[in-house]
Structure 1
Amino acid sequence: MELTKHNIEERMADYGVPGMSITLINRAQVSRAEGFGVLEVGTKARVQDDSIFNACSISKFLTSVLVLKLIEQDQLCLDEDVNQKLIHWKVPENEFTQRKKVTLRSLLSHQSGVMDPEGSFAELALNDKVPKMVDLLEGRTTYCTEPVQITYEPGSDFQYSDAGFCIIQQLIEDVTGKSFDTVINELIFQPLHMNKSTFPHTLLEIESGEISCGHDKGGKVVAGKYPIYPYQAASGLWTTPSDLAKLVIELIQSLKGKSTIGLSASLISELIASQGCKEWTGLGVFLDGANQEIEITSLGWGVGFQCMLVAYPYLESGAIIMTNADLGVHQSKGMIGEIYKSLLL
């Protein structure tokens, strides 16, 4: 069944989703980009194909690509003990780090030994400044009240971790001597012309005219309208499906030796290869299928927003779906999953 505008808006009404944006990729090109619904319930501000949404944890996919770029520049190493290059904070050594050290590979695949403390990594409080990453890692903020430490031997288990990506952010800032958003702007956003992608630090940086606000599962606007996460590498990205499509297309082209930003096919192959103890985990993405039909997935889910990025790098296709509602169920079990399955038919 062809997914028409009528079909989509009908499903949005059934699920109570105010706004959504979709970009499809076919043959390594954008084949469709369209917005549906409104940026804020109760208004007439329509979602356009370039409207900006909170990407939440899809930020981790972007961070992974940035890490690979820094590896290409010989500034980082995938399998080196991260303490070799960390300056302002070090991974605490304990009994779990005696045989195996924490590496970028283990951090990117959520197998580093780091577990997020319960109740940590909430959105930025309305009147708070973005905390320093060292303070967060040391457990000196309300966003992570316990020091980040290694709680199991690296590589022996999978534990999804925002704290692990905070370590990656600190490492990137230490080796480059620049802020995370400056580095990603120089190495990723500018060369790929991802002009609608940003990491706002405060609500004052958000120009609400083209940015969607978040809604809860009851269809109400969430407190503050625009939740900001003060951990950019883990979940701070605001972007559009079309900008994320540029990143997916870069991955596809890199596998063919045609990278715009200088990524090798061999290193991109690592990103979409099974890592460590879980065959379904790549570097900052999740995997399904194998060989030429390998599927990579990155999911974003936060206060007032849900989104999904799916790509088939060797088949040169993909889809990015972003919504301004948190329906309280996994993407695959809600409207996003239903629409994505319709796209595959």
Structure 2
Amino acid sequence: MQNLMDNYHVTGLSMACIEGCKVSRTVCYGLIDANSEKNVDIHSIFSACSISKFLTSMLVMKLTDLCILDLDEDINEKLVSWQIPYNESNRRKKVTLRNLLCHQSGVVDPEGSFPVLDSKIGFPTMVQLLEGKTPYCNVPIEMNYEPESDFQYSDAGFCIIQLLIENVIGKTFNEIMYEFIFQPLHMENSTFDPPNEGAVQSNFSTGHNKAGDEVCGKYPIYPYPAAAGLWTTPSDLALLVIELINSLKGASKLNLSVSKAIEVITPQGTKEWTGLGVFLDKTEKGIEISSLGWGAGFQSMMVAYPDIETGLVIMTNTDLGVHQLKGIIGDIYRAYPF
């Protein structure tokens, strides 16, 4: 592993292995920060970027099980502080949680939108974002095609989901996630709150570029929690993967129904490879579910095979500038004996 780290110039890496629906092994290499001597350990926290969408999906499934939300209801029925503007593209089919979760809602992210936080501008609200009133997204979000007719990967879609959840529950997204996901699963090193000064001095990992240098700001923040704001560890993410696998067997710690767990890994809409908040692939080991995280200074991957109760979560504090499968994460994934 150290040879791979050296070859790819990766500063720090953490990995959790799942076998028999349990965390069987954790592996940590390198440094939490290239300019320190602190080693990565099982408590080192990484930016998970878009793997946040997997957690958002699991939260939605829990809230639909409680009849707080409905996967197939017109989302405007419960949105309070902002409404999806209907037009000729979506007048016949209404936008639902289901097609937002599988990126088939009709939303197309404006070019150049959803960058890392600019400390001089500060945090936008979800309403400001969706109304196009911030530099993070400077045009209003609208539907560009009929729902369920095409796939367009969308951070804006998950901002809409976050706004809906906050409107309905009346709490912040992190508070809701803590109550329904983090606390019951004992995900003690996970948060959607951005790193603060105290946290940064403890277990938060610094992001690095492909040259091994610290990225600007050290801890890049994506102010869109449901889409890309998760900070966590591979061990914590593995707990959620295990929860999904157990839920499929009727053994959920969250009391998630089998039917809702099945929805997550069922092909949705026009694409066989799109589930709800995860991506799917048919293999000789059964269905493969995966989620990838890629942002400033960090890359990660979650992959699992529910049929054989195995999985792997890999997180690095280095952005290699190439797709995960073309870097160290891909090498580990292909070599791992699932």
User: Does 118-127 or 102-111 show the bigger shift?
Assistant: 118-127
Gaps (5+ residues) in structure 1? Answer: 1-7
Equivalent position of 1:237 in the other structure: 230
- Matched-pair contact (CA < 8 Å) for 2:195–2:219: no
- Secondary structure of the corresponding residue to residue 245 of structure 2: helix
Equivalent position of 1:302 in the other structure: 295
1:291–1:63 CA distance, 2 compared to 1 (3 A): farther
One-letter code aligned to 1:55: A
User: How is 1:326-341 mapped onto 2 (pairs within 5 angstroms)?
Assistant: 326-341=319-334
Q: Deviations over 1:43-65 (max 9, x none)?
A: 21100022100000000000000
Whether 1:110 and 2:103 are equivalent positions in the alignment is: yes
Q: 116, 128, 137: which one pairs with 1:144?
A: 137
Whether 1:191 and 2:184 are equivalent positions in the alignment is: yes
Question: 2: CA distance between counterparts of 1:177 and 1:59?
Answer: 20
Equivalent position of 2:207 in the other structure: 214
**Runs of 4+ residues over 2 Å off in structure 1:** 126-129, 200-209
User: How is 1:89-108 mapped onto 2 (pairs within 5 angstroms)?
Assistant: 89-108=82-101
Question: 1: CA distance between counterparts of 2:110 and 2:78?
Answer: 25
Identity within the alignment, %: 58
Gaps (5+ residues) in structure 2? Answer: none
Q: Deviation of residue 218 (structure 1)?
A: 1.2
One-letter code aligned to 1:299: L
Question: 2: CA distance between counterparts of 1:174 and 1:59?
Answer: 19
One-letter code aligned to 1:236: G
Q: CA RMSD in A?
A: 1.3
Q: 250, 262, 270: which one pairs with 1:257?
A: 250
- Matched-pair contact (CA < 8 Å) for 2:195–2:204: no
Whether 1:288 and 2:242 are equivalent positions in the alignment is: no
Question: 1: CA distance between counterparts of 2:334 and 2:122?
Answer: 41
Whether 1:49 and 2:42 are equivalent positions in the alignment is: yes
Q: Deviation of residue 178 (structure 1)?
A: 1.0
Question: 1: CA distance between counterparts of 2:27 and 2:285?
Answer: 28
Q: Deviation of residue 127 (structure 1)?
A: 3.4
Q: 17, 36, 48: which one pairs with 2:10?
A: 17
- Secondary structure of the corresponding residue to residue 300 of structure 2: strand
1:238–1:136 CA distance, 2 compared to 1 (3 A): same
Q: Deviation of residue 292 (structure 1)?
A: 6.8
Whether 1:29 and 2:25 are equivalent positions in the alignment is: no
1:99–1:285 CA distance, 2 compared to 1 (3 A): same
Question: 1: CA distance between counterparts of 2:36 and 2:283?
Answer: 45
User: How is 1:152-167 mapped onto 2 (pairs within 5 angstroms)?
Assistant: 152-167=145-160
Question: 2: CA distance between counterparts of 1:291 and 1:342?
Answer: 16
- Matched-pair contact (CA < 8 Å) for 2:50–2:291: yes
Equivalent position of 2:73 in the other structure: 80
Equivalent position of 2:271 in the other structure: 278
- Matched-pair contact (CA < 8 Å) for 1:309–1:320: yes
- Secondary structure of the corresponding residue to residue 200 of structure 2: coil
- TM-score (normalizing by structure 1): 0.96
Question: 1: CA distance between counterparts of 2:118 and 2:198?
Answer: 15
Question: 2: CA distance between counterparts of 1:297 and 1:256?
Answer: 19
- TM-score (normalizing by structure 2): 0.98
One-letter code aligned to 2:235: S
One-letter code aligned to 2:240: L
Equivalent position of 1:3 in the other structure: none
Question: 1: CA distance between counterparts of 2:117 and 2:53?
Answer: 18
Question: 1: CA distance between counterparts of 2:119 and 2:173?
Answer: 22
One-letter code aligned to 1:184: M
1:198–1:289 CA distance, 2 compared to 1 (3 A): same
- Matched-pair contact (CA < 8 Å) for 1:203–1:228: no
Question: 2: CA distance between counterparts of 1:248 and 1:279?
Answer: 21
How many aligned residue pairs are there?
Answer: 338
Question: 2: CA distance between counterparts of 1:284 and 1:200?
Answer: 20
